[in-house]
Amino acid sequence: MAKTVGIVAEYNPFHKGHAYQIDCLKKMGFEKIAAAMSGSCVQRGEISLLDKFFRAKTAVDCGVSLVCELPYPYSSCSAEGFARSGVHILKNLGVDAICFGSESADLDLLHRIAAFLLSDEYETSLKKHLAENTPFAAAREKAITEKFDLNRDVIAASNDILALEYIKECIRLNWDVQLIPIKRKGADYNDLTAKEGFASASGIRNAVKEYRFETACSFVPENIQKDFLKRLEQGDYFVADTAYEKAVISTLKKLSAADFEQLPDCNMELSHAFENAAAVSGSFEKLFENLPTKQYTKARLNRIILSAFLGTDKNAPALPPFIRILAMDKNGEEIVKKANAVSALPVSHSYRILQDKNADCRNIIEKEAFATDIQSLFFKFSGESRKDYTTKFYKK
């Protein structure tokens, strides 16, 4: 039987860099490719540009065999939580390998660093740097660079940060799965300009924000350009416009420090900072001016803001309690058949079926479905409600 490779992805949107990764895997002989893809919210603490059903369809149309949902709040966790949840889904799908983009593509080095991050030696070094009032991300980098005598650029790149977390989780699970790093091609993760004919997802989203639709479309695979352009021209995409900004700020103003402290990723220091900042801010720009951005990453602050707006608390199950199918082809059907035999999680395309499995499934379905409704509400031209219950999964 042909081997199956898994990818943890966002496809926000699916672009030529993703297509390059799929092409590399096909050339390696992988006929079956499964993706655990972020739902309506993404890891950096934002709502995704396009709805997950369209993103899943474009991925399958471009060679992915099966796209399953990584639901909120797991899709908007720290890199560690995001990777852990994605690997959890892929392991339950029964994949034989995991592939990830990487700026370094040095698997031996990444594996050694990941093992170090799970050691007592790392914990000791980290605590030492944190005691010096070094922010967590910088303290982590110092611990790694001191151990391996590296330039920080080697482990500060976005893809490699996630790569380390994928490998860490596989080590923690004692899961002997093949790991396949593919060197990132073209523009870097956060680059807003194209390079070597490739643009980052950030660059494409920025082009959409500036209404440069033709430019945005030029960086997605040709076979999906027409559908992508149609979505943009119809306004079927999320916009963090003034209306969204005011809605979020007004929600934050209602919350006390005690309320903020109940949110994922928020501690006592941040809870008071958010209460004070929200009270005197009328925009995101002012809010961030009044938050401790030197001590905490913007992604973490964004995740807290999103949690506050969506009414999320810390009571979610530790890991995704189900596997929800968003799109698949014939090879994807075979992956699902295997998953049904090996998975400890219920597998279905239907929330109506999954929500009856147990309380944990209902908990997460409510959170993701609400996030999807909020995304639709703030589309450029308001989208449909209850899409999680009305949209059919795509079968190619």
The per-residue pLDDT for range 324-339, each reduced to its tens digit, is 999 999 999 999 999 9
> Which tens digits make up the pLDDT trace of 345-388?
999 999 999 999 999 999 999 999 999 999 999 999 877 899 99
pTM of the model: 0.94
Is 226 within a domain?
Answer: no
Per-residue pLDDT, 288: 96
Per-residue pLDDT, 313: 87
Domain final position from 257, 292, 310:
310
**Structure tokens of 368?**
């993701």
Share of the chain above pLDDT 90, in %: 84
Per-residue pLDDT, 26: 96
Per-residue pLDDT, 190: 54
Q: Which residue has the higher pLDDT, 88 or 160?
A: 88
Given a contact cutoff of 8 angstroms between Cβ atoms, the answer to whether 85 and 77 are in contact is yes
Is 254 within a domain?
Answer: yes
Pairing type for strands 323-328 and 66-70 reads antiparallel
pLDDT at 186 over 90: no
Per-residue pLDDT, 157: 75
Q: Which residue has the higher pLDDT, 193 or 317?
A: 317
Is 146 within a domain?
Answer: yes
Domain final position from 91, 126, 154:
154
Give residue 146's domain range: 116-154
pLDDT at 192 over 60: no
Maximal CA-CA distance, the chain = 61
> Which tens digits make up the pLDDT trace of 7-46?
999 999 999 999 999 999 999 999 999 999 999 999 999 9
Is 272 within a domain?
Answer: yes
Per-residue pLDDT, 136: 86
Domain final position from 277, 310, 343:
310
Is 375 within a domain?
Answer: no
pLDDT at 258 over 90: yes
Domain count across the chain = 2
Burial status of residue 119 (CB atoms within 10 A of its CB: 0-12, 13-18, 19 or more): exposed
| Closest C-alpha among 59, 177, 194, 39 to residue 107 | 177
Is 185 within a domain?
Answer: no
> If you average pLDDT over every residue of the chain, what do you get?
93
Is 54 within a domain?
Answer: no
Is 379 within a domain?
Answer: no
Mean pLDDT of 131-158: 83
